[in-house]
Amino acid sequence: MMTGVTTLPEDLTTDLHDLYRHLHAHPELSMQESATAELIEERMGALGYETTRIGGTGVVAVLTNGEGPVIGFRADTDGLPVAEATGLDYASTDRGTLPDGTDVPVMHACGHDTHMTAAIGAATLLQQSRESWSGTVVLVFQPGEETAAGAVAMLEDGLWDKVPRPEVMFAQHLSADLAGTVNLSTGPALAMADSLEVVVHGRGGHGSRPESTIDPVVLAAHMIVRLQSLVSRELAAQDAAVLTVATIHAGMKENIIPAEAVFTINVRTLDERVRQQVLAGIRRIVSAEAAASGAPEPEVRELYTFPLVHNDEETSAAVTEVLVAALGADRVSPRVPQMGSEDFGALPEAIGVPGVYWFFGGLPQDVIDLPEPTPSNHSPFFAPVLEPTLSTATTAAYEVIRSRLG
Amino acid sequence: MMTGVTTLPEDLTTDLHDLYRHLHAHPELSMQESATAELIEERMGALGYETTRIGGTGVVAVLTNGEGPVIGFRADTDGLPVAEATGLDYASTDRGTLPDGTDVPVMHACGHDTHMTAAIGAATLLQQSRESWSGTVVLVFQPGEETAAGAVAMLEDGLWDKVPRPEVMFAQHLSADLAGTVNLSTGPALAMADSLEVVVHGRGGHGSRPESTIDPVVLAAHMIVRLQSLVSRELAAQDAAVLTVATIHAGMKENIIPAEAVFTINVRTLDERVRQQVLAGIRRIVSAEAAASGAPEPEVRELYTFPLVHNDEETSAAVTEVLVAALGADRVSPRVPQMGSEDFGALPEAIGVPGVYWFFGGLPQDVIDLPEPTPSNHSPFFAPVLEPTLSTATTAAYEVIRSRLG
Amino acid sequence: MMTGVTTLPEDLTTDLHDLYRHLHAHPELSMQESATAELIEERMGALGYETTRIGGTGVVAVLTNGEGPVIGFRADTDGLPVAEATGLDYASTDRGTLPDGTDVPVMHACGHDTHMTAAIGAATLLQQSRESWSGTVVLVFQPGEETAAGAVAMLEDGLWDKVPRPEVMFAQHLSADLAGTVNLSTGPALAMADSLEVVVHGRGGHGSRPESTIDPVVLAAHMIVRLQSLVSRELAAQDAAVLTVATIHAGMKENIIPAEAVFTINVRTLDERVRQQVLAGIRRIVSAEAAASGAPEPEVRELYTFPLVHNDEETSAAVTEVLVAALGADRVSPRVPQMGSEDFGALPEAIGVPGVYWFFGGLPQDVIDLPEPTPSNHSPFFAPVLEPTLSTATTAAYEVIRSRLG
Amino acid sequence: MMTGVTTLPEDLTTDLHDLYRHLHAHPELSMQESATAELIEERMGALGYETTRIGGTGVVAVLTNGEGPVIGFRADTDGLPVAEATGLDYASTDRGTLPDGTDVPVMHACGHDTHMTAAIGAATLLQQSRESWSGTVVLVFQPGEETAAGAVAMLEDGLWDKVPRPEVMFAQHLSADLAGTVNLSTGPALAMADSLEVVVHGRGGHGSRPESTIDPVVLAAHMIVRLQSLVSRELAAQDAAVLTVATIHAGMKENIIPAEAVFTINVRTLDERVRQQVLAGIRRIVSAEAAASGAPEPEVRELYTFPLVHNDEETSAAVTEVLVAALGADRVSPRVPQMGSEDFGALPEAIGVPGVYWFFGGLPQDVIDLPEPTPSNHSPFFAPVLEPTLSTATTAAYEVIRSRLG
């Protein structure tokens, strides 16, 4: 049986719940988190933190409280182009515009709203307890995590020249685990990710005369089918890899064979050798399939790359101890490396300090027990419960940061 | 060697060329041909024809010239959502809005601009020669041929109650054959067409965790690949059929496995038995492939159906004679049934009169001789030469109509 | 309603039925028709024909009966490696040995037993009626039709130097049509056929370690799937073509990934342009699919080719007249070109004389009416009824040959 | 740098090399190891071991040497239907007959010859050193490992009633690692394996008339392609699984579409949940693909199952210590669980005692360093070097057994 849930002061709880519902209802797309950034600046300023805009919509909030260690913590702020289907009364109905001009619905489908809420909660607790510690807290509210653009943008905008450099960086992420629990791995924590766009060139024509065309839709279908064999037959069973084709777009009219089809590939790997093997295999297969159709060489464009998130071994052991003390041993568990990806790793790496990244659950037991697969991150049905999710995440962030201060 | 090309009066030629370039530069999407309809009304009114708006953007122009037969001729008026790539100085840069709200480029990529031009040319010649014949000419400028919506719309709007009913209907269409030639078949002329939309339901989720999803993109790819076997293995070699998947759309973001994929199928057949076999096979295959993925039953929606265009045997023999007399025997040839489709057939069928439909070429010999496949109808590169295309089409329309009048 | 069936003298009927049952029960594989050849020599010798062995197991039987035209007729003699499943009391239980040493069951699953029986029946009628005609009858009992080896073998063995050259050649073939009927086309009658063997080279290894192998089974499956698109997307609907992969063999043990897979392709076309397009497409696709697997270039070996069987227009009109007169107009019908193939065409072509080839049905109405697809040629269930099949075929052969004699 | 290789007495080395070359040159198929069994009986009898035939061609050799522990060791004895291509002067040219009557080449392609040689070598050392220990050694020479038939056959024939029951069982296996090294895992050591046969029912017919058939070859190809998505999309990246289709056989003649195709599937998993998911997925996919072809339900037959080989944690730690002491720490390494399978696990499981299973390398450094993938177990090119392979394996077996005796 699990030990009793962590509780926060009632007024803080009420405040964080209101904040969370507001953030959830008003998500913004990656690198467009303007209203979110303003809200963070306002909240953190009110708490006495000094805020700096870095990387467009990034905000760093610093609380200097005498001599002592500088400790970093990062929360990410962007939503996703997902049409929320949770039916919650604070569900998002907001829309946004993708860089290519497409108007899309937006949803905090990956829980970044919980990340911001918990960070602000921890910031509040740190501010309230500032007589008991000394040092500097650096809270990084990072935009554009979903597109791998945000960490890079903040670094390129001089992040570590503009604010005190921490000696260690922490971050946490909502997961489809039991609310009230946290878990973390040692060593590899999150996978490398590579996103590619494949432009399949055929030759368009009338739908009734395929013989005068090179059909890019059938060709793209063959490519997608053929890519499955790359995972199923070319990698060892022990080599973890995911190859997802999540988008495909071709054609405007059902009786016009289009001249091209475009699809995107997302690759996850934990090992550089496997990564290189998969990336080379993709290029080999799409090129050969085009040749099988007598089509021109397709274009394969790299969209972005996420680095590995690696949990420093010594630091993650110390973090585990803190979390066990704060939450109880039955609410802290180890985790195998996940195939999800993050650009968090770039922040500590840029200044050569260790980083640790943990997960906190957000689902009630009855949802986890459903016979249906549980809606997970990025699902339009992903709906974390407010408690004990937010109090646990707030406590975890506060206790870990606090443990490193003087 | 081919006999000398047909020539029209110089001022008519100049006028038709200007008209054609204007129409080509300003195409309108199906059932949105408002400016085109206004132009037709103006031109036909100026020629003394009485015009009636039928079916929204349809125009019927009637010239009554004493007692005698009522002869019908139809020209279609809509463009296509194709981005013109001909590089012509009168190329279209106009855009339109599809019924689903998508903004798209528009092009007269199927030659309906030549159809209108030739019909107006023939109308001019008929008006000029009205002392030599008696009877009634009914010129039907039909919208929405590409979506099979126009003939039905005109019929439902009371076409044959509002204008005189012809005893025979004619129509002609531009083809990727040699400019200056015409050709026609006896019996089946154009295929039946069925357009279907398949909505593939999966279960969405994070791109790194396919195990929590049912991937609709891989499923759709398997469906598309599997449908090829329907044509290659289930039909006799002598059973003409085309199954085209011309559009597929799924996913908004490369790391989010979407919950569904949507593709459209276009089927062409010349025989009702084969048609039923293909339509049943499509439903069998998409249903079974969904089962292979453990996915919900996909939806298969009928978008529209084109009827067979059937050339009445006696009438087409008479038309062939007229065309041979007008153009020379070396410029008139027989044609096997084509897999293209038309809603023209619905117009004579509705009143039980015979119809005949012929093609006129639009390409110069040097384009036809290119080693590369010739850009055909619906290609962004389809560029008919003005002459002898327009004079031949005008002459053909005029002579055939004239031959049936008193 | 069909006119009354043709009847033969009762003793001839009894004799032909016995002969047919014997031939059916004792089929021999292509180019191994030794016992069959001996039986033919014996029967034809007894009828007063002069027999010559040509091409190993081929027999030509000549009846010279005064001055006059030389008329050729060919019947083929080989069975197939099919395990008969008809349940008939004269079903074959014989076995044979393929060239590669494999022991297989053998069945007259293509009706060559009816061809021989009808030819011997016609030979009997010709011998019995020899006072009414003059000229020379050349009956060619050809081996190895199924492998396209027999006509070539007879020609290479000097067929037309060893026996009188006919001025016209005829042949007939059993079909899955109504017994008692015949049918024939004008122009193309039977398709060209090309058989190819594809040797797919991979790299073998342990079934648990695909990463150390190149899996030739998955590669061959991708090739076979991909070849379907060649028929479905690269040919016009009006271009008749069949591409069949009828055999595939790979692997000896379920936990050893083999080093290669071998499959055979059979292509049928009616037009040399289409044939070349399909053959080139096969090579393009298997080569590109091997590249998609990172496998060595596969081998594509031509096994054999069948020529087009072309029915001379004038002669087939004359044959039709004779058949109508002999059988009644309701038992003679036209036929579209068939995708089946034959090496018969090589025999008249070699000496530049016209040929005509017709079909005779072998199934009773109730079998044709079954809701299940009718067992057709090469099926283990193909079971023609003796009558009116044999009397019709005998009469057709006799009347057509007789009509050309003096 | 690696410590000096283990050396055995020169006469024993010579003897073992001769024995190995003989065994390698004369492999026998699973459950047909008669000559091998006789040779083992002769050799072990000469060493003073008491031998018993169990399970047909299984041999157990027991050396009782006073009071003390009973220690078991198993060596497997069968070869594989692989055509040896090593070019060695002692390469096998022997052939065998599979249960279905097929004549095949046979090769010790999985190193069972090294297993027997090292077991006989260790037996010799144990016999020679019998004054230094007391207890009972039970050497199990097990047939039919490759088909999972041997361990079951010995158990069903009363193995543990006929010979003393050991308190622990060991076994070792040749791997494609560096000769002179050994390695082992803790916990799961070797995967579960399931072999299935799929009989795909179609409807046969003539190769030119696919429309009258249901093509089982194209259907089987679609199944094989579709099964790839089961591994690539339905399992988590961290769930190790292999699905191999190693054999497929269909058709006898390139122009006869066969009525069925037969292929075999081999599945490897480390976790019962994943195993059940894959087995259920296979049945779902082959059933649905048959439905997609309108074909009858295919048959899926279980051929055999291998259990997990699980290395007892305490015992494997002790074994590691012994190996490090005997061979040097640089020649002993840990290993991740392998996807290969074994029926060894059934022997200790049957009497509830712990088991440990380790690997010994057999390749020289220069072969491992080749740019080409190294020929691994079951490859026709797999060629272990005699030394230090055999002395290392002999020493490992001897030292581990010896360490458990009194």
Mapped to the 3 state alphabet, what secondary structure does chain D carry? CCCCCCCCCHHHHHHHHHHHHHHHHCCCCCCCCHHHHHHHHHHHHHCCCEEEEECCCEEEEEEEECCCCEEEEEEECCCECCCCCCCCCCCCCCEEECCCCCEEECECCCCHHHHHHHHHHHHHHHHHCHHHCCEEEEEEEECCCCCCCHHHHHHHCCHHHHCCCCCEEEEEEEEEEECCCEEECCEEEECEEEEEEEEEECECEECCCHHHCECHHHHHHHHHHHHHHHHHHCCCCCCCEEEEEEEEEECCCCCEECCEEEEEEEEEECCHHHHHHHHHHHHHHHHHHHHHCCCCCCEEEEEEEECCEEECHHHHHHHHHHHHHHHCHHHEEECCCECCCCCCCHHHHHHCCCEEEEEEEEECHHHHCCCCCCCCCCCCCCCCCCCCHHHHHHHHHHHHHHHHCC
What share of chain C has pLDDT > 70, as a percent? 98
Provide the pLDDT for residue C3: 47
Residue B1 pLDDT > 50, yes or no?
Answer: no
Chains with at least 3 CB pairs less than 8 angstroms from chain A = B, C, D
Per DSSP bridges, beta strands A168-178 and C192-201 are: unpaired
- A292/C294 touch (CB, cutoff 8 Å), yes or no: no
- Chain A residues whose CB is inside 8 A of the D238 CB are 240, 336-337, 339
- Residues of chain A in contact with residue B340, where contact means CB-CB under 8 angstroms, are 206, 208-209
Tell me how close the Cα of B335 comes to any Cα of chain D, in angstroms: 27
Q: Does D246 contact chain A (CB < 8 Å)?
A: no
Q: Chain A residue with minimal CA distance to D244?
A: A233
Residue A238 touches chain D, beta carbons under 8 Å: yes
Higher pLDDT, B81 or C6: B81
Per residue in B290-310, pLDDT (tens digit) is 999 999 999 999 998 998 999
Report CA B347 to chain centroid distance, whole Å.
14
Q: Chain D partners of A233 at a C-beta cutoff of 8 Å?
A: 228
How far apart CA A114 and CA D161 sit, in angstroms, is 64
Residues of chain B with C-beta less than 8 angstroms from the C-beta of A222: 221, 225
Nearest to A233 among C218, C233, C288 (CB): C218
Length of chain B: 406
CB contact under 8 A, C238 and B243: no
Point out the residue among C209, C234, C292 whose CB comes nearest to the CB of A285: C292
Q: How far is C267 from chain A (nearest CA, A)?
A: 18
User: Å from D253 to nearest chain B CA?
Assistant: 18
Report yes or no: A399 at the C interface, CB cutoff 8 Å: no
Q: For residues B208-214, give the mean pLDDT.
A: 93
User: Does A197 contact chain B (CB < 8 Å)?
Assistant: yes
CA distance to B222, C172, C387, C393, per residue, from C6 (Å): 54, 17, 10, 10
**Of B210, B239, B288, which has the smallest distance from its Cβ to D291's Cβ?**
B288
Contacts of D338 in chain C (CB under 8 A): 208
Q: Per residue in A76-135, pLDDT tens?
A: 999 999 999 999 999 999 999 999 899 999 999 999 999 999 999 999 999 999 999 999
For chain C, say whether A292 makes contact (Cβ under 8 Å). Answer: yes
Give me the pLDDT at residue A5, please. 52
pLDDT band at B2 (very low <50, low <70, confident <90, very high): very low
| pLDDT number for residue C377 | 83
**Model confidence pLDDT, tens digit, residues C344-398:** 999 999 999 999 999 999 999 988 888 766 777 888 999 999 999 999 999 999 9
Q: Which residue of A has its CA nearest to D237?
A: A240
pLDDT in tens, A154-209: 999 999 999 999 999 999 999 999 999 999 998 889 999 999 999 999 999 889 99
Chain A nearest-CA distance from C231, in A, is: 10
Return the axis-axis angle of helices D216-233 and D272-292, rounded to nearest 10°. 150
Degrees to nearest 5, angle at CA A344 with A338 and A349: 110
pLDDT for the residue A2: 45
At D134-170, the pLDDT tens digits run 999 999 999 999 988 999 999 999 999 999 999 999 9
Q: Is B233 touching C (CB cutoff 8 A)?
A: yes
B208 touches chain A (CB under 8 A): yes
CA distance C224 to chain B (A): 10
Interface of A with B in 137-156 (CB under 8 A): 146
* Phi, psi (deg, nearest 5) at residue B383: -135, 90
Q: How many cross-chain Cβ pairs, C to D, lie less than 8 Å apart?
A: 216
pLDDT by residue (tens digit) across B215-265? 999 999 999 999 999 999 999 998 999 999 999 999 988 888 999 999 999
Q: Is there a contact between B196 and B306 (Cβ–Cβ < 8 Å)?
A: no
For chain C, domains (ranges, CATH) are 10-190+308-403 (3.40.630.10), 192-306 (3.30.70.360)
Q: What is the mean pLDDT of residues A255-265?
A: 95
Across the interface, do D288 and B289 touch by the CB < 8 Å criterion? yes
pLDDT tens digits along D295-346:
999 999 999 899 899 999 999 999 999 999 999 999 999 898 889 889 999 9
User: Does residue B292 sit at the A interface (CB-CB below 8 Å)?
Assistant: no
Q: Do C232 and A226 touch (CB under 8 A)?
A: no
The per-residue pLDDT for C229 is 96
Report the pLDDT value the prediction gives residue A376, as an integer from 0 to 100: 79
Taking CA atoms, what residue in C is nearest to D379? C205
**How far is the alpha carbon of D179 from chain A, nearest alpha carbon, in Å?**
22
Judged by average pLDDT, the poorest of A306-320, A363-377, C198-212 is A363-377
Assess whether pLDDT exceeds 50 at residue A3.
no
CA of A403 vs chain C CAs: smallest distance (Å): 46
How many Å lie between the alpha carbon of B259 and the closest alpha carbon of chain A?
9
Chain C CB contacts of A239 under 8 Å are 211
Work out the pLDDT band at B3, boundaries 50, 70, 90: very low
Q: How confident is the model at residue D294 (pLDDT cuts 50, 70, 90)?
A: very high
Chains A and C form CB pairs within 8 A to the count of 61
Dist. CA C382–CA C107, nearest whole Å: 10
Q: What is the DSSP string of C193-220?
A: EEEEEEEEE-B-EETT-GGGSB-HHHHH
**Nearest C-alpha of chain D: how many angstroms from B193?**
22
Q: Partners for C (CB, 8 Å, 3+ pairs)? A: A, B, D
Q: What's residue A100's pLDDT?
A: 87
Q: Which of D206, D259, D264 sits opposite C254 (nearest CB)?
A: D264
Spell out a b/e string for D129-158, using b for 16 or more CB atoms within 10 Å of the CB, else e: ebeebebbbbbbbbbbbbbbbbbbbbbeee
Contact (CB<8Å) A233/C210:
yes
Contacts of C341 in chain D (CB under 8 A): 208, 255
How far is CA C299 from each of CA C187, C222, D192, D225, rounded to the nearest angstrom?
Answer: 36, 16, 37, 22
Cis peptide before C334 (omega within 30 of 0): no
DSSP C297-349: PPEEEEEEEEPPEEE-HHHHHHHHHHHHHHH-GGGEEE-PPBS---STTHHHH
Is the pLDDT at D2 greater than 80? The verdict is: no
- CB-based contact D241 A237, cutoff 8 Å: yes
pLDDT value of position A371: 74
Partner residue opposite B209 with nearest CB, options A257, A258, A339: A339
Residue D292 sits at the chain B interface (C-beta within 8 Å) = yes
Please tell me the predicted confidence (pLDDT) of residue C368.
85
pLDDT of residue C110: 95
Give me the percent of chain B exceeding a pLDDT of 90.
86
Q: What's the ipTM? A: 0.80
Three-state DSSP class for residue A387: coil
CB B362 within 8 A of CB B211: no
Residue B191: closest C-alpha in chain A: A208
Annotated binding site of C for Mn(2+): 110, 112, 146, 173, 378
Q: Above 90 in pLDDT, residue A405?
A: yes
The minimal CB distance from A232 to the residues D243, D268, D337 is found for: D243
**Which of D227, D229, D268 is opposite residue A237, by nearest beta carbon?**
D268
The yes-or-no verdict on residue C111 having pLDDT over 60 is yes
Answer yes or no: do A337 and D236 touch at CB < 8 A.
Answer: no
Is C250 touching D (CB cutoff 8 A)? yes
CB contact under 8 Å between C238 and B336, yes or no, is: yes
Over residues A272-305, the pLDDT tens digits come to 999 999 999 999 999 999 999 999 999 999 998 9
Q: How far is A294 from chain C (nearest CA, A)?
A: 8
A239 touches chain C (CB under 8 A): yes
**pTM of the entire predicted model:** 0.84
